Structure 1
Amino acid sequence: MLHKKSLLFSAALLLAATAVNAQNCNSDWLGTKTLYKAPAYHPSVVPAGYKPVFINHVGRHGARHLTKEVNTSFAWQLLHRADSAKALTAAGQHLWKLVQNLTAVEKGQVKSISDEGRDELRGIGKRMYAHYPSVFTGKVELNVGYTKEIRTKQSADAFLQGLKAGFKDSADVKEYNDDTDLRFYDSSPTYTAFEDGGSWEKPMNTLRESLKIDVVNHTLAVKWFQPAFLKTLKPAQEDKLVGDVFGFATIVYSLQAEIKKAGYQWTDVNFAPLFTCAEQAALSKLDVADDYLKKAPGTDANGIQVRIAVPLLVNFINTTDEFIKTGKPNAQLRLAHAETIAPFAALLGMTGADKVAADMKNIEAAWKSSNVIPLSSNIQWIFYRKAGTTDLLVKFLLNEKEVHITGLKNASTYYHWKDVRAFYVNKLNKLNVGLGDDMAAYLKNVK
């Protein structure tokens, strides 16, 4: 039988969680861990006589598990040490239990996409066929690129499963690894140096101060640790702890099927009630800023964090030219990462993805990670041809929604390919890049 104090403790935790949930916090706090939602399909009117003939696509992997085992995290190690020292408060014990439960759910599954991710990708593939069936007539040939990470191969498999469900005949699928064009951010010494410290630091530090992140971290640590143990922690440790726990809070939304399979209920791994609405908002805003400043327009729409995506733009142009020349493949598909999609969308000049924020305290007015790079985010170029002509039109989609291209004037969302190609080649020329250049060399030498 449970001790009376244990029952009272459990009741107190339940009341505390209910009190936080009762605040009805803004649900838009998951940032890049936002689950993908199929948009309403309201396409603009296709110009008379044109039909889809080719698709050039890049997408982010689907909803995923953590990228490392929970018990290797700083939070797990610190909480384990505090628990052994009997230095956790009642709230800290509850947190430690949540972390242990998540450890069990995630064991052996890190780096992979989740069931939710597979559903997301299958859905995108199914809709691609449903919306553009004329692209996939006759003997279908598909080129499918992905990165060295297993979750992109798994995402490609799920996407193809959805896409090919509508095919009448089998498809010839050519799969290949392409880290140069899809993980360009890994291959540039200049970008690595930028990540370690660059123009993002000052606005990030200013934002941290305005959000009082150190106060948020310490307030949470006070709730979780006994005073004597708390005195041993440095601000940097509190920051790392809270960052890990907030990461756990955002990832579990991608794992709901796996949570059930492991024999747990949602409340057994729900970290959200640990944070007040104000704490959620502050930590989310900081995460958004980190993505925006390091992967998106940030303080400079032409900065290294955007220019780093040049290899993918070159690849999109060259693969489109190959289709025009040979009529194959029917679709060029790629599965990659958030760090691929965000800078590429900015480099393309896609509306909603390419603007420098007027006020770093209000980044969301210019750019939202949940809109640009949610899980399974994607960019599609849909090409149309008029029968009996060589004229190609192209429509741009960001997460299956039609968008315009900044700087490329047009009366509708259907652009003439010759204008688009000239626009992007001119942009590349200004960066001293040619379509025939060695992109591995470009990444090594770009400044």
Structure 2
Amino acid sequence: MLNVTELSLLFPMIHSTYNQIDHSMNILFKSSMLCASILLAACNNNEQQSQSSPEQNTSSKYYQTKTPYQPQQDLKKYEAIPQGFKPVFTELVARHGSRGLSSIKYDLALYNLWKQAKAENALTPLGEKLGADLETMMKANILLGYGVDGIRQYGYGNETMLGIQEHRGIADRLLQRLPELFKIAATQPESILVQSSGVDRAVDSAKFFTAELIQQQPQLKNQVTPVSYTSLTSTSIPSIEDGGVDRFKLYFHSLNKDQDLVSPLSTQQQAIYDASQAYQKFEAEDVYLKNKLNDLAKDTRAQQIAMNVLNPIFKPEFLKKLGTTGYTFSNNGAYTVTSPKGETITEKGKGKNTIASAVDAAAYLYELYSISGGMQLELKDVNFDQYMPVDAAKFYAEFNDANDFYEKGPSFQESNAVTSNIAQGLKQDLFKQVDAIVDKQQSHRAVLRFAHAEIIIPLATSLELHDMMQPLPLHQTYNYSNSTWRGEVVSPMAANLQWDIYQNAQGTTLVKMLYNEKETLFKSSCKYAQYSTNSFYYDYLKLKQCYQIQ
């Protein structure tokens, strides 16, 4: 079976530039494959409201963490600001937007399989269509970001046009939500701090977000720091040196000595580094984790689900040959496309991703299906729904959710919170920014951070959000019946956590949290910190005490 944390899919490239993107394309969100009503229920952390699970959801596309982003609440329906309070600060942690495949893997392996079936006349009428769709996908991935301002290097791994739109939309709504705050920010130097993990798609998300702020309010350009985020040109590259990249806070799952020990570490950085090493050791060596993931991979339903996916595409006699001599397929070889300017561009596979069974082939096809919701602008005439029955999509989503639950989320009780300890530095920084306001040492009006699912999931876990962050006993194995944890809720594309900070004349400080732009309660044990009964506003000092932040 396949762990799909790092996959995606892509289709024919739209070659318009960033400035040609239509700000008002609300239809993109309306046509998203994601069922907003389900996520609205799941994102509500209110103790009085139970959460919906996918068993109750007949509309979910089961894209898991590849689900396209949708804001989960109309900003006009937010709870009113308590009387006498004004916004003084906001901070954001966001995942990059919808993207393409990380490299030429599953698409090329399936294409090689398809070509063999084609040569043997072993395709059904539906299977005949698959070849052109795979070619469209590979071409789109190879050219993804071609000619788009703000994409530093076109190709696999880049954000899609919908991914760009997702962050532009979040930026627009931030300005609408806090107009007074950004009016003040426009008068203060370096009042908007932007940071990312340094990985291309996170950097690009930050740039698109910032560009939207500047386009809507040009006076903010001189307030953004570092200046490397104020330009979409590929030569404007944020770095650790200019303060635009912070791997310890925004790439903490994968710190290493070659990149992160080149300079002496602070006490806090050393703690984060040590937690990262413990986490990476857990992922690579923990016996309990390996046993749990092996148990998941042995699911007896896998063969039948795979046949349900493949029988409509390939003839039975061909499927029986999969895995025998001459019928193992990998991402060997290459695929060549012509760019809009007439250049010949070739992408080579590494031969590391292999199809040796029907189970492999169907799981690979799910990888392509699962990202298709984020490819609505590139994928105009291709519909991967026809290759993936809903029950099969649910099966693969549940498997991938289980893997993410154990490797990145609450995990099992015996893991001793190793998956959330890595987020302690980022969590502390959220509080540190507010401390500066309380101490009258505020240097920014906004801090905007851009990262990855591997950052969002541990952070949400460490904050114990959504009433779904409980680990399971080791004797239980995650499934959709015994856990409410869902990747499409916790970390869809462009997932984001925002804290808005308010103060009154007496210096009382309040914090309100938005998760995917929905007002969200903090963990239930912090109920005493709510400013008033059932309010989403919290007394900051009481909240800090509740989370035992030093």
Give yes or no for TM over 0.5.
yes
Is 1:339 the counterpart of 2:463? The answer is: no
Report the alpha carbon displacement of residue 69 of structure 1 after superposing the two structures with TM: 2.9
Answering whether residue 199 of structure 2 is matched by residue 163 of structure 1, we say no
Which of 414, 431, 444 is the equivalent residue of 2:537? Answer: 414
Asked if structure 2 preserves the Cα contact closer than 8 Å seen for 1:353 and 1:372, the reply is no
Q: Which residue does 2:466 correspond to in 1?
A: 351
SS in 1 for 2:217: coil
Instruction: Tell whether 2:199 aligns with 1:129.
Output: no
Match of 1:289 in 2: 402
The change in CA–CA distance for 1:191 and 1:49 in structure 2 (over 3 A counts) is: same
The amino acid that maps onto 2:65 is T
CA contact (8 A) 1:118 1:155 kept: yes
Q: Cα distance, 1:374 vs. partner?
A: 1.0
Partner of 2:479, secondary structure, is helix
CA contact 2:92–2:499 (8 Å) conserved in 1: yes
Please report how far the alpha carbon of residue 246 of structure 1 lies from its aligned counterpart in structure 2 after TM superposition.
0.7
Shift of 1:182: 0.8
Report the number of matched residues.
396
Q: Unpaired segments of 5 or more residues in structure 1? A: 1-23, 427-434, 436-447
Hey, what does 1:50 align to over in structure 2? Answer: 85
Q: Is the 8 A contact 1:142 1:331 kept in 2?
A: yes
> Is residue 2:488 matched to residue 1:370?
yes
Q: Matched residues in 1 for 2:481 and 2:205: separation? A: 30
Quick check: 151-160 or 330-339, which moved more?
Answer: 151-160
Contact kept? 2:86, 2:502, Cα under 8 Å: yes
| Amino acid of the structure 2 residue aligned with 1:75 | L
The secondary structure found in structure 2 opposite 1:257 is coil
Name the CA distance, whole Å, in 2 between partners of 1:211 and 1:288. 18
* Identical positions, percent: 26
- Could you tell me whether the CA contact under 8 Å between 2:100 and 2:157 is conserved in 1? yes
- Summarize the Cα distance change of 1:312–1:299 in structure 2 as closer, same or farther, 3 Å threshold: same
Is the CA contact 2:252–2:422 (under 8 Å) kept in the aligned structure 1?
Answer: yes
Quote the offset at 1:207 in angstroms: 4.8
Question: 1:185 matched to which residue of 2?
Answer: 253
8 Å contact from structure 2 (residues 122, 314) kept in 1: yes
1:25 Cα deviation after fit: 6.5
Q: CA deviation at 1:152?
A: 1.0
Alignment pair present for 1:119 and 2:234 = no
Of 234, 238, 253 in structure 1, the residue corresponding to residue 373 of structure 2 is: 253
| Residue in structure 1 matched with residue 411 of structure 2 by the alignment | 298
1:252-331 equivalence runs, <5 A: 252-260=372-380, 265=381, 269-300=382-413, 302-323=416-437, 324-331=439-446
* Aligned counterparts of 1:49 and 1:425: Cα–Cα separation in 2: 28
Deviations 1:130-155 (A, max 9, x none): 11122221336211111232111111
Q: Render the CA deviation track for 1:221-244: whole Å, top value 9, x for unaligned.
A: 455455356334178644433222
1:26 shift after superposition: 3.2
Distance 1:163 1:132 in 2: 12
Deviates more, 1:94-103 or 1:158-167: 158-167
The farther-off stretch of 370-379 and 107-116 is 107-116
Are 1:36 and 2:69 an aligned pair? yes
By how many angstroms is 1:204 displaced? 4.5
For residues 238 and 194 of structure 1, the distance between their equivalents in structure 2, rounded to whole angstroms, comes to 31
Contact 1:126 1:165 in 2 (8 A): no
State the AA in 2 paired with 1:251. I
Structure 1 residues 425, 25: closer, same or farther in 2, change over 3 A? Answer: closer
User: For the structure 1 residues 97 and 56, does the alpha-carbon distance in structure 2 shift closer, same or farther, using more than 3 Å as the test?
Assistant: same
Task: Tell me the distance in 2 between the aligned counterparts of 1:335 and 1:418.
Answer: 26
**Aligned mates of 2:157, 2:309 — CA distance in 1:** 28
For residues 188-220 of structure 1, what are the alpha-carbon distances to aligned partners after superposition, in whole Å with 9 as ceiling and x for unaligned?
Answer: 333223333544444545555556123322444
Alignment deviations for residues 303-344 of structure 1 (CA, whole Å, 9 cap, x no partner): 211222112112223333344443221101101111111110
Q: In the alignment, is the contact (CA less than 8 A) between 2:61 and 2:393 conserved in 1?
A: no
Q: Deviations over 1:318-375 (max 9, x none)?
A: 3333444432211011011111111101101223452336872226852222122111
Contact 1:185 1:191 in 2 (8 A): yes
* 1:53-105 superposed Cα distances (whole Å, 9 cap, x missing partner): 10121001111122113577433343345545665555444333321121122
Distance 1:381 1:49, change over 3 A: same
- 1:395 and 2:395 matched: no
Could you tell me whether the CA contact under 8 Å between 1:386 and 1:392 is conserved in 2?
yes
Distance 1:97 1:194, change over 3 A: farther
Contact 1:73 1:244 in 2 (8 A): no
Quickly say closer, same or farther: Cα 1:279–1:197, change in 2 above 3 A.
farther
Distance in 1 between residues matched to 2:294 and 2:159, nearest whole Å: 33
Q: Is the 8 A contact 2:89 2:445 kept in 1?
A: yes
Structure 1 residue 163 displacement after superposition: 2.9
Residue 72 to residue 278, structure 1, CA distance change in 2 (3 Å) = closer
Alignment partner, residue 66 of structure 1: 101
1:89 and 1:225 in contact (8 A); partners too: yes
Aligned match of 1:151: 201
User: Could you say which residue in structure 2 is the equivalent of 1:96?
Assistant: 131
Q: Secondary structure at the match of 2:78?
A: coil
Secondary structure, in 3 states, of the residue corresponding to 1:340?
helix
Contact 1:82 1:229 in 2 (8 A): no
Higher helix fraction (1 or 2) = 1
2:225 pairs with 1:174:
yes
